[in-house]
Structure 1
Amino acid sequence: MRTEGRDFLQRVVAAALLVRLGAIAVALVGLTGHELHGNVLVCILVLSFTSFVQLYSPAVEAFVARHPLTVILDILLALGTVAVVGVESPLVLATFSTALVVGLIFDRRVAVAGAVVLVAGYGLVLATDPHTTSGFMTTLGVPTLYVALVAVGGVVRQAHERDTVAHQLLAETKRAAAAADERARLAREMHDSLGKTLHGVALAAQTLPSWVDSDPDAAREHARLLADGAHRAAAEARGLLTRMRADQPDRPLAQVLAELCATWQGECGTPCHFRADRAVDLSTAARYEVLAVVAEALENVRRHARASTVGVVLAALPDGRVQVEVRDDGVGFSPSPDGAGPRGHYGLVGMRERAQSVGAELTVASAPGEGTSVVIEVDPEKEVEGVA
């Protein structure tokens, strides 16, 4: 049985036990002024003790949830109570919770069988008790309530099952939509980066033979550029594959970021500490771009910062925005007025474009000798979908 089903059964059993304890309390009020015989006291103690044990012992409650057939013992206990105290005793109220649990836990056929056993057992006690006075409640009311409560339990159970199926279908739909979004995003990435690089490599390869014949020195330069392009294409392909493996939309963003930091630390040897102030998440599009920005920031640290430690923090701001910061204690740099990075480095430009594509804000703070801080903030309410 799935965990959700077990949790549901545990809640049902707990609610039924609370109802039973309430019914026992009502029965005690009804018995005020009457002499309590030993058999009645025994029934009260047994019903109360079993209810308290199941209610306040998680192990017993979990056992009942895992083994629903133990409810048969509860049916026998209910009928035994009716047989001992008589059908006119207020303690009969405490047996109604058993009928409710039967309908909630068992499927229709077993629940019907349980209702038949309850009604037949009650009818047998009624027929064999010579002191019982005939009345509507004793002859028809109690058996009808048994059947009605089993039916109510069955309706609630079916509603829960339909709700569970609906949640599963919704989750599957979300996973399918996320997968389609990832495919579209991958196609865009391949077109914008890897495709252009490969196209340049192909053009250089086409012109290389003519340069070999006419200008060997230029041919060597073209060959070097061709090799650089191939290496760049391979690096871009590895980056795409890494982000595909890292961002699984059904996993929490904090878990994905923690694994990204651990992987980077293992590859570079520089300590990378991750902290999540609160459990937050983003849409698939925003997650993808945020992870790409974090990966690019860490790559810049590896290439240029000469840092001794790096910190990545995921936080939820008071105004509802989600913030991710990558901070290092490296050599730092002097950002240009337009927000670009050092001359010849275009990583910050790409990070800003990624942030803008989902309506996020990117802030870079750095100074020579003071390290660098890259902060991306996403407002889920103002977030826009990246263009595929």
Structure 2
Amino acid sequence: MTTHVVASDADEYTRRFVGVSMLVRLLAILVAFVGLVGQTMTLPVLACAVALTASGLAVLMSERVAAFLAEHPFAFVADVLVTLAVIAVLGTETPFVLVTISTAIVVGFLLQPALAALCAVVLVAGYLLVETLQPPAVAGFMLTAGVPALYVGAVAVGGAARHAHRAHVAASRQAGEALLAAAAAEERARLAREMHDSLGKTLHGIALGAQALPRVVERDPARAQGFAAELAQGANRAALEARQLLARMRADQPDRPLAEVLRSQCDAWQRESGVPCHFRTDGAVDLSTSARYELLAIVAEALENARRHANARLVTVRLTGHADGGLEAVVTDDGAGFVVGPRARSPHGHFGLTGMAERAAFAGLSLQVRSTPAGGTTVVVSHPGHAREAA
């Protein structure tokens, strides 16, 4: 996908470059007509002016023509023939010679170096041949050597622009591939962290219990039944954590605004739990992919705590964006509440608050938990704005 985008940008740049060159051609035609003021307008001059203007307008006004030249640059060789025809008809003294410089620039940009150099030789040779067959009334350096040098220089300028553009495209492609690789690495790291924080610990406990079970069966068969039941509960808990992990990984959809994703998350939780969950948003802004993922996980954990431990009857989720780019998500329930420990750590035997605090710290978010027994719980997750980050 990144390669396709870079290729599209390259084609667009080519069309723009050719279009600007044709605009320069039209301006040169206008200057040429100014230079002919006071002279008789002959049919050959008018025909050449029409041919050059038509070719320039065709590229500027028709996207199909510009796209065709971007895809088939060799077709621009026809413009070289038009240029030679103009010089042959009007001679080397005509102001329209300046118009043909745009042809050399586009040739240098569109064609491969070898072919562009060949076209430069053809332009110079054609010009010198016309000058030899139709000697100007007043010979001078500009007519004899200046214009041929301009052709060569214009082709070189076009080639330099082509080289610089290709280098830019290659750098953009490499940057895109690096971003994809970084995103993939971040996703793998995030998945590893998720599995370590939840599923890995549960599975480790099950493995230890399974290793101890044969000894318990030998020494105390009656206790072994309860021990096996605990292992079964642990296995069920691991399955539940795996499902929750997959659900959280699917929860974030970076192509959708954070407010929409969070609203969908609240609606899904309300359907599963049967507890009303009111969602409000006000001037919300978005976050980076990693930060919004962690924020969604923290909100999900706060909702689960409200269902499992607080027996809440109503939950409110509010997402607020600030003018400085800051963001705040607040989850409030009317449940049983609890005594908040130091640093908003989980009570003994629970890990929800601890995991939320670790997630917030990892994503550069701040976490506040306010709760009192029988007074409900409020979880505030915030992201600093640009002004506060700078401070």
**Shorter-normalised TM range:** 0.7 to 0.9
How has the CA–CA distance of structure 1 residues 371 and 101 changed in structure 2, closer, same or farther, with 3 Å as cutoff?
farther
Judge conservation of contact 1:253–1:287 (CA < 8 Å) in 2.
no
Q: Which is worse superposed, 98-107 or 174-183?
A: 174-183
Judge conservation of contact 1:277–1:314 (CA < 8 Å) in 2.
yes
> What secondary structure, in the 3-state scheme, does the structure 2 residue paired with 1:18 have?
helix
> What secondary structure, in the 3-state scheme, does the structure 2 residue paired with 1:32 have?
coil
Task: Give the Cα separation in 2 of the matches to 1:273 and 1:70.
Answer: 60
Task: Quote how far apart the aligned CAs of 1:324 are.
Answer: 6.9
Q: Does 2:159 correspond to 1:159?
A: no
Q: Deviations over 1:49-88 (max 9, x none)?
A: 3323321333332232222122112212222222222211
**Partner residue of 2:213?**
208
Task: Quote how far apart the aligned CAs of 1:139 are.
Answer: 1.8
Q: Does 2:383 correspond to 1:377?
A: yes
**Partner residue of 2:91?**
86
Judge conservation of contact 1:126–1:132 (CA < 8 Å) in 2.
no
Judge conservation of contact 1:324–1:377 (CA < 8 Å) in 2.
yes
Task: Give the Cα separation in 2 of the matches to 1:274 and 1:130.
Answer: 83
Q: Does 2:176 correspond to 1:168?
A: no
How has the CA–CA distance of structure 1 residues 281 and 124 changed in structure 2, closer, same or farther, with 3 Å as cutoff?
farther
Q: Does 2:101 correspond to 1:134?
A: no
Judge conservation of contact 2:302–2:379 (CA < 8 Å) in 1.
no
Judge conservation of contact 1:364–1:373 (CA < 8 Å) in 2.
yes
Judge conservation of contact 1:254–1:280 (CA < 8 Å) in 2.
no
**TM alignment of 1:278-293, pairs within 5 A:** 280-282=286-288, 284=290, 286-293=291-298
> What secondary structure, in the 3-state scheme, does the structure 1 residue paired with 2:40 have?
coil
How has the CA–CA distance of structure 1 residues 188 and 372 changed in structure 2, closer, same or farther, with 3 Å as cutoff?
closer
Task: Give the Cα separation in 2 of the matches to 1:234 and 1:51.
Answer: 68
Q: Which is worse superposed, 98-107 or 230-239?
A: 230-239
**Partner residue of 2:72?**
67
Task: Give the Cα separation in 1 of the matches to 2:248 and 2:148.
Answer: 63
Amino acid corresponding to residue 293 of structure 1 in structure 2: I
Amino acid corresponding to residue 227 of structure 1 in structure 2: A
Task: Give the Cα separation in 1 of the matches to 2:385 and 2:50.
Answer: 58
Q: Which is worse superposed, 76-85 or 253-262?
A: 253-262
Q: Which is worse superposed, 7-16 or 36-45?
A: 36-45
Q: Which is worse superposed, 41-50 or 295-304?
A: 295-304
Task: Quote how far apart the aligned CAs of 1:120 are.
Answer: 2.3
**TM alignment of 1:212-223, pairs within 5 A:** 212=217, 218-223=223-228
| Long gaps (5+) in structure 2 | none
Judge conservation of contact 1:252–1:281 (CA < 8 Å) in 2.
no
Judge conservation of contact 1:20–1:97 (CA < 8 Å) in 2.
yes
Task: Give the Cα separation in 2 of the matches to 1:212 and 1:24.
Answer: 99
Q: Does 2:99 correspond to 1:97?
A: no
**TM alignment of 1:325-336, pairs within 5 A:** 325=329, 333=335, 336=338
**Partner residue of 1:231?**
236
Task: Give the Cα separation in 2 of the matches to 1:56 and 1:334.
Answer: 70
Task: Give the Cα separation in 1 of the matches to 2:198 and 2:86.
Answer: 77
Amino acid corresponding to residue 158 of structure 1 in structure 2: H
Q: Does 2:67 correspond to 1:41?
A: no
Q: Deviations over 1:98-141 (max 9, x none)?
A: 11111111121121122122222222322332555432222211
Amino acid corresponding to residue 141 of structure 1 in structure 2: G
Q: Which is worse superposed, 92-101 or 190-199?
A: 190-199
| Long gaps (5+) in structure 1 | 384-388
Task: Quote how far apart the aligned CAs of 1:45 are.
Answer: 2.8
Judge conservation of contact 2:313–2:335 (CA < 8 Å) in 1.
no
> What secondary structure, in the 3-state scheme, does the structure 2 residue paired with 1:36 have?
coil
Task: Quote how far apart the aligned CAs of 1:348 are.
Answer: 5.2
Judge conservation of contact 1:297–1:326 (CA < 8 Å) in 2.
no
Task: Give the Cα separation in 2 of the matches to 1:254 and 1:65.
Answer: 34
Q: Does 2:155 correspond to 1:150?
A: yes
Q: Which is worse superposed, 5-14 or 262-271?
A: 262-271
Judge conservation of contact 2:337–2:377 (CA < 8 Å) in 1.
no
**Partner residue of 1:386?**
none
How has the CA–CA distance of structure 1 residues 280 and 116 changed in structure 2, closer, same or farther, with 3 Å as cutoff?
farther
Q: CA RMSD in A?
A: 4.4
**Partner residue of 1:198?**
203
Task: Give the Cα separation in 1 of the matches to 2:369 and 2:248.
Answer: 22
Q: Which is worse superposed, 79-88 or 177-186?
A: 177-186
Q: Does 2:133 correspond to 1:119?
A: no
Task: Give the Cα separation in 1 of the matches to 2:177 and 2:387.
Answer: 24
> What secondary structure, in the 3-state scheme, does the structure 2 residue paired with 1:35 have?
coil
Judge conservation of contact 1:296–1:347 (CA < 8 Å) in 2.
yes
TM-score (norm 1): 0.76
Q: Does 2:324 correspond to 1:319?
A: yes
**Partner residue of 2:22?**
17
Amino acid corresponding to residue 282 of structure 1 in structure 2: S
Amino acid corresponding to residue 127 of structure 1 in structure 2: T
Amino acid corresponding to residue 377 of structure 1 in structure 2: H
Q: Deviations over 1:321-374 (max 9, x none)?
A: 3x375889xx854655637899998645533331123321246799x9x99986
TM-score (norm 2): 0.75
Amino acid corresponding to residue 173 of structure 2 in structure 1: Q
> What secondary structure, in the 3-state scheme, does the structure 1 residue paired with 2:171 have?
helix
> What secondary structure, in the 3-state scheme, does the structure 1 residue paired with 2:38 have?
coil
Task: Quote how far apart the aligned CAs of 1:237 are.
Answer: 3.3
Q: Does 2:63 correspond to 1:53?
A: no
Task: Quote how far apart the aligned CAs of 1:164 are.
Answer: 1.9
